[in-house]
Amino acid sequence: MKYLQLGLLFSSIIAFASADETVHSPDGKISVTLSLKESLPHWAVTVDGQAILNPGAIKIFSGEKPEKHYQFETQNFSLKKFNETWKPTWGQFSSVKNQYHEISWNLKGSKAKDTMIHVRVYDEGVALRYTVADPKTKIGESTAFHFTNEGTLWSANGERRNHGPIKFSAWHKKRQLRMPMTAKMENGLHLAVLEAGIYHQYPFNLRRTGTNSFETVPQMTQWPEKKAESAWRVLSIGRQAGDLIESNLIWNLNPANKIKDTSWIKPGYTLWDWRSWGATAPDGFQYDLDMVSWRRFVDFAAQHDNVRYLMLDANWYGPEFDPKMDPTKSRDHLLEQLENGHIRRKPAPADWKEPIDVPGLIQYANSKGVGIILYINEKARVNYDFDKTLETYAKWGAAGIKYGFMRIKGDRKVQETRKIVETCAKHKLLVDFHDGPIQGSGDERTWPNYITREFCHAQSDAKRSFDPDHFVTTVFVNGLTGSLDMANGLYAIKGAAEVRPRIFQKVETTVVAETARTLISYAALAILPDIPEAYEAKADLFKFITTMPMTWDESRVLTGEIGKHISVARRAGEKWWIGSVKDSKGGQLTLDFSFLPEGTTWKATLYEDTPHTHYQTNPEAYLIRKSEIKAGEKLTITIAPGGGHCISLEKK
Q: Tell me what pLDDT residue 149 has.
A: 95
Q: Are residues 497 and 611 in the same domain?
A: no
The mean pLDDT value of the chain amounts to 94
Q: Which amino acid is it at 516?
A: A
Q: Tell me what pLDDT residue 223 has.
A: 84
Could you tell me the CATH number of the domain that includes residue 76? Answer: 2.70.98.10
Q: Tell me what pLDDT residue 64 has.
A: 63
Mean pLDDT of 354-374: 98
In a domain, 324, yes or no: yes
Are residues 327 and 389 in contact, defined by beta-carbon separation less than 8 angstroms? yes
In a domain, 555, yes or no: no
Q: Are residues 109 and 239 in the same domain?
A: yes
- Rounded CA gap, 180 and 589, in Å? 27
Helix, strand, coil % (nearest 5) of the chain?
20, 40, 40
> Given a cut of 80, is residue 49 above it in pLDDT?
yes
Q: Are residues 273 and 390 in the same domain?
A: yes
Q: Are residues 495 and 580 in the same domain?
A: no
- CA dist list (Å): 592 to 474, 556, 596, 603: 24, 12, 9, 16
In a domain, 214, yes or no: yes
Domain count, the chain: 3
**Other Cβ atoms within 10 Å of 536 Cβ, number:** 14
Q: Are residues 461 and 507 in the same domain?
A: yes
Those residues whose C-beta lies under 8 Å from the C-beta of residue 525, and which sit 6 or more positions away, are 267, 268, 269, 270, 309, 373, 400, 430, 432, 451, 452, 483, 485
Could you tell me the CATH number of the domain that includes residue 317? Answer: 3.20.20.70
Q: Are residues 358 and 486 in the same domain?
A: yes
- Tens digits of residue pLDDT in 562-604: 999 999 999 999 999 999 999 999 999 999 999 999 999 999 9
> Given a cut of 50, is residue 350 above it in pLDDT?
yes
- Rounded CA gap, 138 and 227, in Å? 11
pLDDT band at 341, cuts 50/70/90?
Answer: confident
In a domain, 52, yes or no: yes
Mean pLDDT of 146-166: 96
Q: In 3-state terms, what secondary structure has residue 164?
A: strand
Are residues 563 and 472 in contact, defined by beta-carbon separation less than 8 angstroms? yes
Question: Which of 225, 252, 279 is a domain's end point?
Answer: 252
> Given a cut of 60, is residue 11 above it in pLDDT?
no
Q: Tell me what pLDDT residue 139 has.
A: 86
Q: In what order do the strands lie in the sheet with 525-528?
A: 450-453, 430-433, 400-404, 371-377, 307-312, 268-272, 525-528
- Tens digits of residue pLDDT in 189-237: 999 999 999 999 999 999 999 999 999 998 888 887 788 899 999 999 9
> Given a cut of 70, is residue 12 above it in pLDDT?
no
> Given a cut of 50, is residue 6 above it in pLDDT?
no
Q: Tell me what pLDDT residue 3 has.
A: 38
Q: Are residues 609 and 533 in the same domain?
A: no
Q: Are residues 523 and 575 in the same domain?
A: no
pLDDT band at 68, cuts 50/70/90?
Answer: confident
Q: In what order do the strands lie in the sheet with 565-572?
A: 554-561, 565-572, 575-582, 644-651, 601-609, 622-630
Q: Tell me what pLDDT residue 219 has.
A: 85
Domain membership of residue 80 as a residue range: 3-252
Read off the pTM.
0.95
Q: In 3-state terms, what secondary structure has residue 420?
A: helix
Q: Are residues 310 and 238 in the same domain?
A: no
Q: Are residues 115 and 180 in the same domain?
A: yes
Q: Tell me what pLDDT residue 445 has.
A: 98
Question: Which of 210, 225, 252 is a domain's end point?
Answer: 252
Q: Tell me what pLDDT residue 227 has.
A: 84
Q: Are residues 486 and 397 in the same domain?
A: yes
> Given a cut of 60, is residue 346 above it in pLDDT?
yes
Are residues 278 and 499 in contact, defined by beta-carbon separation less than 8 angstroms? yes
Question: Which of 550, 578, 597 is a domain's end point?
Answer: 550
**Other Cβ atoms within 10 Å of 261 Cβ, number:** 7
In a domain, 622, yes or no: yes
In a domain, 167, yes or no: yes
Could you tell me the CATH number of the domain that includes residue 602? Answer: 2.60.40.1180
In a domain, 391, yes or no: yes
In a domain, 556, yes or no: no
Mean pLDDT of 528-556: 97
Q: Are residues 543 and 588 in the same domain?
A: no
